Structure 1
Amino acid sequence: MQRKPVPPAPDSIERVREVRDAAPLVPESEDDCCRRLVERAGVHDRGQASAWLVFLTALGAVEETDLGYARSREDLDCDALAANFRENVFLAPEVLDALGDDPRRASDIFETVRERVPRWERTKRQDWEGFWTERVERRLDWAVLLGLAERADGGYRRPD
């Protein structure tokens, strides 16, 4: 299953480890996990913590069970995170496939993938294009962090 929530990309994989390590080893409810991420990892608020939990689940760094969320006992391997990002994050494959050798702005990549945004997402906001352009940019920033893209000349491109 592909997940939609993508928090803003941090500056380093180490920050991903910090947030993941704030999740419990034994499953706890989403509310308890969110509180832990806010208190132990300095995540801004409960909404951001929830987005982190769902996103870390997509990356395979956190597991979702019937009892709640728990941190994965696996080491965070960048190659595995990158593969899980591509496979489990909504629009990630399309965004990555839209990259070329020449830099492209996030807004141009959004135009390439805009038809993949579900109709109900388009009707729930007046400025859905702006909202989803930002969401595409978040995916691009994560792609850079995970080595799947690089920044160049004010845009993004495939890594060399």
Structure 2
Amino acid sequence: MQRKPVPPAPQSLTAVADVVDAVPLVPKPEDDCCRRLVDRAEVPDRGRASSWLVFLAALGVLDDDAAGYARGGDVPLDDTDALAANFRENVFLAAETVDALGDGPRSPADVFAVVRERVPRWERAKRDNWPEFWTGRVERRLDWAVLLGLAEREGDSYVAARD
């Protein structure tokens, strides 16, 4: 199952580790985990904390089951290849976003134009400004792609990572 929530990308995986370290070792319900992220990892609010939990579970960094969230997922934060693979596979529009990058620089709006038709109809109906909203979501995915080594940033644009 692919997950949609993607928090803003931090500057480094060290900052991601700070968020992971705030998650309990023993599974706790989402509300408890969100409160810990706000209190211990300087996540600004419960909504963003929930996005972090869902996203980190999609990356394989956290365990997510009926009991809640806990540290101890299958993927360590220093395994960027596995993180990148899970990002592409488990985060909605991540693979399409990365695949939309070419050799030349592309802005988030350019990439959104390529993936636009993949945005579900019900998501489009939720808000009048859905193209702007989803362009922002695409940009978050691009920023994570950079952090995970799948893309590079060139000014205000992005290109596919060079091997």
Question: Would you call these one fold, judging by a TM-score over 0.5?
Answer: yes
Residue by residue, what CA displacement relative to the aligned partner does 1:17-66 show, whole Å, maximum 9, x if unpaired? Answer: 11011101110000000011111111001011000000001101111111
User: Of 70, 85, 88, which residue of structure 2 is paired with 1:86?
Assistant: 88
- Residue of structure 2 aligned with 1:140, choices 139, 142, 151: 142
The separation in 2 between residues aligned to 1:132 and 1:15, in whole angstroms, is 25
| Unmatched segments (≥5 aa) in structure 1 | none
Residue-pair matches, total: 160
Partner of 2:48: 48
**Alpha-carbon offset, residue 150 of structure 1:** 0.3
1:57-136 correspondence to structure 2 within 5 Å: 57-72=57-72, 74-76=75-77, 77-136=79-138
Q: Which runs of 4+ in 1 moved over 2 A?
A: none
Query: Structure 1, residues 64-100: CA drift from partner, whole Å, max 9, x if none?
Result: 1111111125521111111110110000010011011
Q: Trace 1:1-16 onto structure 2 (pairs within 5 A).
A: 1-16=1-16
Question: Structure 1 vs Structure 2: percent identity of aligned residues?
Answer: 68
Distance in 2 of aligned mates of 1:80 and 1:40: 26
Amino acid corresponding to residue 76 of structure 2 in structure 1 = D
The equivalent residue for 2:29 is 29
Q: TM-score, normalised by structure 2?
A: 0.96
Structure 2 gaps of 5+ residues are none
Instruction: Work out the CA distance in 2 between the residues paired with 1:97 and 1:90.
Output: 13
Aligned to 2:161: 159
> In the alignment, which residue of structure 2 is the partner of 1:38?
38
1:153 Cα deviation after fit: 4.0
Find the aligned partners of 1:51 and 1:157 in 2 and give their Cα distance.
26
- Aligned-pair Cα RMSD in Å: 0.9
- Could you tell me how far apart the structure 2 residues matched to 1:55 and 1:95 are? 16
